């Protein structure tokens, strides 16, 4: 049985999750409801909710409207998402090995590590 050497690989989050997190955090920071922001952006409440939860990948027009409704520029949202992306890249995924019969599995975090742990077989 051969074992892979453990190594750290940056975790790549989904764009829609980062954008949704940024929009929700800013809306909540302002103490505003989904309805208030959706009405100001002229988009539906359910759609804004899905964008915030990372379930929908909004167009740049929708994101610009949501940003404007929050008093932000589209560029401001991009800068905030960029910061989230950099922070996520610093949280490593630890790769280890399993028995050859198992192609992969998600296992518990080794002591002293953070991020997602994925075990691979060679």
CATH number at residue 50: 1.10.260.40
Same domain for 98 and 44, yes or no, is no
Same domain for 32 and 52, yes or no, is yes
Are 117 and 58 in contact, with CB atoms under 8 Å apart? no
Same domain for 48 and 73, yes or no, is yes
Kindly state whether residue 21 falls inside one of the protein's structural domains.
yes
Same domain for 19 and 76, yes or no, is yes
pLDDT digits (tens, 9 = 90+) for 36-64: 999 999 999 999 999 999 999 999 999 99
pLDDT digits (tens, 9 = 90+) for 62-84: 999 999 999 999 999 999 999 99
Same domain for 61 and 83, yes or no, is yes
Kindly state whether residue 2 falls inside one of the protein's structural domains.
no
As for how many domains the chain has, the answer is 2
- Beta carbons within 8 Å of 44's beta carbon, 6+ residues apart: 38
* 31: containing domain: 15-89
Same domain for 71 and 99, yes or no, is no
Q: What is the pLDDT of residue 29?
A: 97
Same domain for 30 and 64, yes or no, is yes
């Amino acid at each position: 049985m051969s074992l892979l050497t453990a190594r750290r690989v940056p975790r790549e989050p989904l764009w829609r999750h980062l954008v949704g997190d940024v929009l929700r955090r800013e809306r909540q920071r302002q103490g505003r409801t989904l309805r208030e922001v959706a009405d100001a952006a002229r988009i539906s409440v359910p759609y804004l909710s899905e964008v915030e939860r990372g379930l929908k990948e909004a167009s740049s027009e929708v994101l610009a409207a949501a940003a404007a409704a929050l008093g932000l520029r589209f560029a401001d949202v991009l800068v905030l998402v960029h910061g989230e992306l950099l922070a996520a890249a610093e949280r490593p995924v630890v790769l280890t090995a399993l028995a050859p019969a198992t192609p992969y599995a998600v296992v518990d975090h080794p002591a002293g590590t953070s991020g997602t742990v994925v075990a691979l077989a060679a």
